[in-house]
Amino acid sequence: MRAWVVTRPGPVEEEPLRLVERPVPAPGEGELLVRVRACGVCRTDLHVTEGDLPEHRPEVTPGHEVVGEVAATGPGADADAWAPGDRVGVAWLRDTDGTCRFCLRGDENLCPASRYTGWDADGGYAQYTTVPAAFAYRLPPDVDDVALAPLLCAGIIGYRALLRTSLPPGGRLGLYGFGGSAHLCAQVALAQGATVHVLTRDEAARRLALALGCASAGGARDRPPEPLDAAILFAPAGDLVPVALRALDRGGVLAVAGIHLSDVPVLHYEDELFYEKELRSVTSNTRRDGREFLGIAARHGVRATTHPYPLSEAPRALRDLKAGRFDGAAVLVDDF
């Protein structure tokens, strides 16, 4: 098979990705072999490729928004649950120990032994990948591969971030940054009756936000037209944390959705934290989050705005993501 690997993490402009030929992987105990049909391009892939995240697996194949079909089942995989030809989704969270205190209380996203697709194990920038059957997702039959792919991380993480804000019914939500995850999160919040204000530097993203039904779309540092009950920071820019906190009403919550964030400036207590404002982080997701989000997306017709790229041009997709050359999400489609 053909696969992209991170030879040496560094700026995408210096071509850290290399296309290689590798044997098709054999599914291990309890795993599925997946023929990749589409793989979304996530900002986390950029962080893995450029070294913002520490290297976990040398020459890893990135990609964790995979839509594919089961090509084979490994020993111990439930043959009654999965069979060759089944449509399957592969997401960021790949495995947990299932026995730690976090897993046992339902917070498997905090498991110290958790492992991740495209970081700890080879992911979807390839023609085949593997996934533990217990962490694979069933996908709706009536949505095409390209449209589904971004839902498997951008959508799930956006949903997790929305939960972390504790947004009250009918509340006012601010989204800072409006890429692949935020534009899906906005659709869920709108479907649930929220008023959504978008703050982003990208003009095309602002147009998309208004087209989706958001109440306003301004610059990343602009003040929203009304105080916010909650906000989510999707942009990996720590200097926006105080900006978003100042936009919150009393008792408001800011959730930081990214896995990587530049340094946060010193916060001014009276202006940015007083009146019981809260700052929360978001760490991965649980499988329950994933199943809930996919169900909500199906019921409310949540759809990704997508830009397909051939798998052979994965480095260009990452460069375009870094440069902000598209709204919505990029998706790789096998052209080999």
Tokens of 255: 């959730």
Q: Which residue's entry shows tokens 């534009």?
A: 183
How does DSSP classify residue 323?
Answer: H
- pLDDT by residue, tens only, the chain of 336 residues: 999 999 999 999 999 999 999 999 999 999 999 999 999 999 999 999 999 999 999 999 999 999 999 999 999 887 678 999 999 999 999 999 999 999 999 999 999 999 999 999 999 999 999 999 999 999 988 889 999 999 999 999 999 999 999 999 999 999 999 999 999 999 999 999 999 999 999 999 999 999 999 999 999 999 999 999 999 999 999 999 999 999 999 999 999 998 999 999 999 999 999 999 999 999 999 999 999 999 999 999 999 999 999 999 999 999 999 999 998 899 999 999
pLDDT value of position 140: 84
Are residues 310 and 335 in contact, defined by beta-carbon separation less than 8 angstroms? yes
If residue 21 lies in a helix (H) or strand (E), which one and from where to where?
Answer: strand 17-21
Phi, psi at residue 218, to the nearest 5°? -125, -175
Name the β-bridge partners of 330. 41, 307
If residue 250 lies in a helix (H) or strand (E), which one and from where to where?
Answer: strand 248-256
CA nearest neighbour of 219 among 228, 210, 206, 234:
206
Other beta carbons within 10 Å of 91: 26
Are residues 226 and 196 in contact, defined by beta-carbon separation less than 8 angstroms? no
| Pairing mode of beta strands 216-218, 115-116 | unpaired
